[in-house]
Amino acid sequence: MILASQSPRRRELLRMISAEFEIIPAHGEENIPVGTPADTAVMLLAKQKAREIFAEHKGELIIAADTVVAVDGKILGKPADGENAREMLKQLSGRTHSVFTGVCIIAENGGEKTFCEETKVEFYPLTDAEISDYIATGEPLDKAGAYGIQEKGALLIKRIDGDFFNVVGLPVARVYRELKLMQVN
């Protein structure tokens, strides 16, 4: 089994399914057409990653994923810097947004399954000081939407509707079930 991601969070989550896997991150350019809806975009990106690694490792099971935050139809990726993180957190403050994770699994025989999981996340209204304090932790800078639900970002969140692990970066239970349906052990 190969996880086509360098995300330490995905690595931890995949360990819930299997202790035996290799990490080989995809390095190809991420291409999605402008205006692509978030749910479609994450599936396209996951598929690109999985196919890139499968091309180099035929006969191996590949799991690839991509996660984005979307609000008002706009995708919020990882912030470029602290100011960009501030803008994102202001957009999310006091509102509900969606977290989409696209997953592509390619079985050893080349069979492929791609799906998307959506979780709704509601933020408390945030003060400028709360946003500044959170940015000062450094956590927002490598996370889609500028927050990590599994770290101090949890203090910003009023409620979630859906899979918690999806927000972290991999809908573990769904991945497990899809592997079973594909009869992958």
Answer yes or no: 161 catalytic.
no
Question: Strand 96-106 vs strand 157-161: parallel, antiparallel, or unpaired?
Answer: unpaired
The encoded tokens of residue 85 equal 């993180």
Q: What is the DSSP string of the chain?
A: -EE----HHHHHHHTTT-S--EE----S-----TT--HHHHHHHHHHHHHHHHHHHSTTS-EEEEEEEEEETTEEE-S-SSHHHHHHHHHHHTTSEEEEEEEEEEE-TTS-EEEEEEEEEEEEPP--HHHHHHHHHTSGGGGSGGG--TTTGGGGGEEEEES-HHHHHT--HHHHHHHHHHTT--
The encoded tokens of residue 138 equal 């450094």
Which residue among the candidates 66, 81, 128, 133 is catalytic per the annotation?
Answer: 66
> Which sequence positions are flagged as catalytic?
66
